[in-house]
Structure 1
């Protein structure tokens, strides 16, 4: 009898040098989560022209397979039209502490035209290995920078204050209403505007959160295209 894959356990180094762990029970990807919903609607219209289905409401929240929460240096993809998205991740660790770290939601852009939820389940959410206590930065997210880059030369493709997105406090209320503000929950924030002049379909992706007091947390990974299937 085959067994189901076990839920992943992620480890984080905290600023004081201690370690936090979370066994991921629930993974969510938020979408269309910018605070300026007029800009969000304009973005939805742009995506619709590319064939991406429009959501019925915003912001969105997609349940994702928990095993896709990964701390990895390599993401395997099936073709050349996939890319990351710089995001923050809200983590409720095994002790019930609410942590903030960086994440990069790697997304299949071809599959996205058929269904956003499908595309989110096609590749991992790459999660940082360091984290902050959310309470330590909750009152200054306007001074925390979220950025994304591509390629070996780390060309910046995304850059904005973390509070350009709906804040973790908003999503904590949503999780509480759903009965999911519990240890083992990881929620990825949705992303910020991407520079259309930079090629997102790169062989490396990275993202970072930076705070003047607590320093920098980043992820950086190689994007590896698998061999063509025999079919």
Structure 2
């Protein structure tokens, strides 16, 4: 049995999940202009556009973690706040996560770049039944860059294709599957940070799920 064992705190108690599969849904923007903006963001750092949208990238289950520190090679990677669905025997959980990605590698292979870095998830989650109500949920990330914390991303689920549509497009989620569901635009361009904080909020109830992690850069030996 592969993958990590993750524990999520939910309103009903702790849920333990053996991760068997991880899939990253990419190019999931609901609005064409916003999607084009994200494609332009990546094109600015040399990343080619998609062959179709959305795309589903497979990542090793062992890359999914809930730590507060990740180690990456060099300073060419960055975090990306995303809603995350976790399929369990009792239904779906929703949490917030980061599709941390090596941008240098992404310039020649998005699929390989997804595999290069950990996918960091929060330790709290909500049981959910995807539906239109989810459009009100908000996403925010804050990045510490050169010693200063800045707002890096903000947006709502209404900017992303409905999560039920993403699940259906993948053919459903078997228990033990983690799906990262796409991101929202970056303010100021994609760049490396020393710390990445992310937050998922329901503005109607005030409930939130948040997590943060530090990025330790390993030297590139030539």
TM-score of the pair, normalised by structure 1:
0.87
Larger radius of gyration: 1
Aligned to 1:196: 188
Q: For 1:15 and 1:138, locate their aligned partners in 2 and report how far apart those are by CA, in whole Å.
A: 20
Q: String of CA shifts for 1:84-104, please: whole Å, max 9, x gaps.
A: 0010101102x2411110001
Q: String of CA shifts for 1:146-201, please: whole Å, max 9, x gaps.
A: 111101654211111122111211122123x3xx521011100111100026x731
Aligned to 1:186: 178
Aligned to 2:119: 125
Deviation at 1:14, TM superposition (A): 0.5
Deviation at 1:218, TM superposition (A): 1.0
Question: Is 2:139 the partner of 1:149?
Answer: no
User: Residue 219 of structure 1 aligns to a residue in which SS?
Assistant: strand
TM-score of the pair, normalised by structure 2:
0.91
Question: Is 2:216 the partner of 1:224?
Answer: yes
The 1:218–1:33 alpha-carbon spacing in structure 2 relative to 1, beyond 3 Å, is same
Q: String of CA shifts for 1:30-72, please: whole Å, max 9, x gaps.
A: 1111101243134324533432122110111101111111111
Matches within 5 A, 1:111-122: 111-122=105-116
* Unaligned 5+ runs, structure 1: none
Q: Is the 8 A contact 2:97 2:198 kept in 1?
A: yes
User: Residue 43 of structure 1 aligns to a residue in which SS?
Assistant: helix
Q: Is the 8 A contact 2:2 2:61 kept in 1?
A: no
User: Residue 83 of structure 2 aligns to a residue in which SS?
Assistant: strand
Matches within 5 A, 1:67-82: 67-82=62-77
Q: For 2:148 and 2:44, locate their aligned partners in 1 and report how far apart those are by CA, in whole Å.
A: 31
Aligned to 2:207: 215
